[in-house]
Amino acid sequence: MTDVRKLRILIVDDQSAQTGALCDVLRQYNYEAEGCVSAEAAQQRLQTHSYDLMLSDLNMPGLDGISLVKAALQRDPDLACIIMTGEGSIASAVRAMQAGALDYIVKPFKASSLLPVLARAQSTRALRIANAELERQLRLNVIELAEANYRLEQARTAAEQASTEKSRFLSNMSHELRTPLNGILGFAQILAADKLPATQLEKQRFARNIVQSGQHLLKLVNEILDLARIEAGKVPLALEAVDLPAVLQECRMMVTPLAAKHDISLGFGAVPQLRLRADRTRLVQVLINLLSNAIKYNREQGKVAVACSEKEGKRLRISVTDTGPGLEPDQVQHIFQPFNRLGRDEEVEGSGLGLALTRRVVEAMQGDIGVDSKPGQGSTFWVELPLAQETSQQVQHA
């Protein structure tokens, strides 16, 4: 059984006998009726109580019915107001309706003629409320639609961007693959030709060139495959607690010959006894990439410094700072793009894949990578990775 709420009605008439009689009659018809003998009293009542309907006399000493309807509707726009008027003042009743009353009834009246007026007003009120709710729903739907459109547009832009990047990647890749391949074919054709190079020494030089181009090609193909596999999420990462001092020591050993070759001094600051949550082999790959860049793109007798610092959220930052040419802001924007060598193709050997690969590896390990650089002074490439769980516990106990 549903519990139907009684309709609440406020009756306003300066003739208290009339007010009382109306209340009694309406209570019999299952209304929750209350009476006020002035518009001022009704206004006060409306401040603390809410009603479905208000039945008000038009002419009252003090505030009249029209002003009361206006004030009541300002407070509750859904209140259904009906004006009671004497025979002579129908024109005023029309004014009351213009002020927002839903109907009027001419006095004197019988309960049988009042009840349909009240029912009509109540259904108009219910319709208005339902209408407002529909409008609200409509507005919500419009907002949701606009949001969905915005997300769709963003996804479309992202897809377009990804497709442009893929095309650029493919065209760069074929260019990069063609260069060493042409070298191999060119030298091999000379060796295979009838007119062989005159000396054994020349033959050896051509063969060495073939080997070098072959090695370069192999490195390229390996890196491209690695990049593609990481992008496809097909590289299983063995995330474990990696000892920071040990890993940095290993990297140091690995890059020392390159640093010596370029006459660059390596400085590893104090390394905290911490453990990172990372794939050890991949972490070494990341650090070697950053260190070899810092050595390759440096000035004569330059320096490379490695520093570690703990960051918020149980993370550790490893920074590699060089004394090289530094990077302009627009170079920083493009430096992680595959094959983008920032115009250094001739100066220094490389394929332009190191940083692109590094970034994807770092992100796959839930890390971040970035660069701070001052043109003319040098750059700092940094990676941030999560600390291993038990590391932070050890530190807390220490």
Would you tell me which residues interact with Mg ion (CB under 5 A)? 293, 354
Backbone angles phi, psi at 133, to 5 degrees: -65, -40
302 interface partner picked from ligand ATP, Mg ion, none, CB below 5 to 8 A per type: none
SS3 49: coil
Between 206 and 336, name the residue whose CB sits nearer to Mg ion: 336
User: Of all residues in this chain, which one has the CB nearest to ligand ATP in the complex?
Assistant: 354
104 interface partner picked from Mg ion, ligand ATP, none, CB below 5 to 8 A per type: none
Between 69 and 291, name the residue whose CB sits nearer to ligand ATP: 291
Q: Cβ atoms within 10 A of the Cβ of 398, count?
A: 6
Which one, of 328, 255, 326, 241, lies nearest residue 286 by Cα?
A: 255
Residue 167 CB, nearest approach to Mg ion (Å) = 24
Applying CB under 6 A, which residues contact ligand ATP?
289, 293-294, 297, 322, 324-325, 327, 335, 341-342, 344, 350-356, 379
Backbone angles phi, psi at 209, to 5 degrees: -60, -40
Cα of first residue to Cα of last residue in the chain, in angstroms, is 68
Between 92 and 293, name the residue whose CB sits nearer to ligand ATP: 293
105 interface partner picked from Mg ion, ligand ATP, none, CB below 5 to 8 A per type: none
62-69 contacts at long range (C-beta below 8 A, 24 or more positions apart): 62/38, 63/38, 63/39, 64/39, 65/12, 65/39, 65/96, 66/92, 66/95, 66/96, 66/99, 67/39, 68/12, 68/39, 68/42, 68/43, 69/96, 69/99, 69/100, 69/101
Beta strands in 149-200 (DSSP E): none
Residue 350 CB, nearest approach to Mg ion (Å) = 5
Residue 200 CB, nearest approach to ligand ATP (Å) = 33
325 interface partner picked from ligand ATP, Mg ion, none, CB below 5 to 8 A per type: ligand ATP
Cα separation, 398 vs 393, whole angstroms:
9
Between 65 and 354, name the residue whose CB sits nearer to ligand ATP: 354
Residue 253 CB, nearest approach to ligand ATP (Å) = 19
Which one, of 120, 110, 117, lies nearest residue 25 by Cα?
A: 110
Between 20 and 370, name the residue whose CB sits nearer to ligand ATP: 370
Residue 377 CB, nearest approach to ligand ATP (Å) = 11
Contacts of 189 (CB under 8 A, 6+ apart): none
Residue 220 CB, nearest approach to ligand ATP (Å) = 8
208 interface partner picked from Mg ion, ligand ATP, none, CB below 5 to 8 A per type: none
Between 176 and 384, name the residue whose CB sits nearer to ligand ATP: 176
Which one, of 193, 36, 29, 49, lies nearest residue 111 by Cα?
A: 29
297 interface partner picked from Mg ion, ligand ATP, none, CB below 5 to 8 A per type: ligand ATP
SS3 328: coil
Between 242 and 294, name the residue whose CB sits nearer to ligand ATP: 294
Cα separation, 379 vs 390, whole angstroms:
33
Inter-CA distances, 255 with 115, 116, 251, 391, Å: 96, 96, 6, 27
Between 356 and 369, name the residue whose CB sits nearer to ligand ATP: 356
User: Of all residues in this chain, which one has the CB nearest to Mg ion in the complex?
Assistant: 354
Residue 172 CB, nearest approach to ligand ATP (Å) = 12
Residue 235 CB, nearest approach to ligand ATP (Å) = 18
